[in-house]
């Protein structure tokens, strides 16, 4: 297996910081759903994490623009940074909608989906730590794919149930948006996994 260039460790450090921030936000979202109180404050905390991650994304792109020899393909560096950013954007999107829509209490399905998001982001964090030698990345990617399939199944069934049982059209619109955002977050996690798998293939 071809080892990635050790002198470019700063990229790996930035990606680990980025992935850790994504996982921290995912944990915060699941905690928000589990203990549904002081939600404005919790949503603000997630927004702060998103802003911090945006700065890391900027640092990665800035370093990419200033580095002649990169540890792996430039397009993969850019794609991975953007995909991680997309995950956190959707996490923040869920938390902000819970407050903006004035959701009084969350559903069991919300707890299930936020748990899946947290697990998928944890797997992303573990996978990114393996970028320096590419060990075990694929097994984490398989885990993320399984979690995305689980989220897709829950989301489909929950949305169908929502249209069947919800009589308040406003509530239907709110929850459809929230469930859609949660599913989109797991889709974004799968996108990260696909990019990581591509990096493994190109550098093995």
Render pLDDT for 42-98 as a digit per residue (tens, 0 to 9): 999 999 999 999 999 999 999 888 888 888 899 999 999 999 999 999 999 999 999
Q: How many CB atoms lie within 10 A of CB 161?
A: 12
pLDDT-derived band at 157, boundaries 50, 70, 90: very high
Position 151 pLDDT exceeds 60:
yes
Nearest in space to 43 (alpha carbons), one of 3, 123, 98, 107 = 98
**Domain range list for the chain:** 6-202
Architecture of the domain made up of 6-202: Up-down Bundle (1.20)
* Backbone dihedral region for residue 4 (phi beyond 0: left; psi -120 to 50: alpha; all else: beta): beta
Nearest in space to 12 (alpha carbons), one of 65, 61, 71 = 71
- The chain-wide mean pLDDT, for the chain, equals 93
């Amino acid at each position: 297996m071809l080892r990635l260039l050790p002198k470019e460790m700063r990229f790996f450090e930035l990606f680990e910081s980025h992935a850790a921030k994504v996982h921290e936000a995912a944990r915060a979202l699941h905690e928000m759903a589990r203990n549904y109180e002081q939600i404005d404050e919790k949503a603000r905390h997630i927004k702060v994490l998103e802003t911090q991650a945006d700065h890391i994304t900027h640092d990665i792109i800035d370093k990419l623009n200033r580095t002649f020899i990169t540890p792996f393909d430039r397009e993969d560096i850019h794609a991975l940074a953007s995909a991680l950013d997309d995950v956190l954007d959707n996490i923040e999107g869920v938390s902000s909608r819970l407050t903006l829509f004035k959701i009084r209490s969350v559903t069991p399905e919300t707890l299930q989906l936020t748990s899946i998001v947290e697990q998928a982001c944890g797997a992303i964090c573990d996978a990114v730590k393996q970028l320096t030698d590419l060990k075990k990345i694929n097994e984490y990617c398989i885990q993320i794919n399984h979690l995305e399939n689980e989220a897709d199944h829950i989301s489909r069934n929950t949305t169908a149930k929502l249209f069947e049982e919800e009589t308040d059209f406003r509530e239907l619109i709110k929850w459809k948006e929230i469930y859609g955002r949660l599913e989109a977050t797991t889709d974004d996690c799968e996108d990260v996994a696909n990019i990581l798998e591509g990096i493994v293939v190109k550098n093995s």
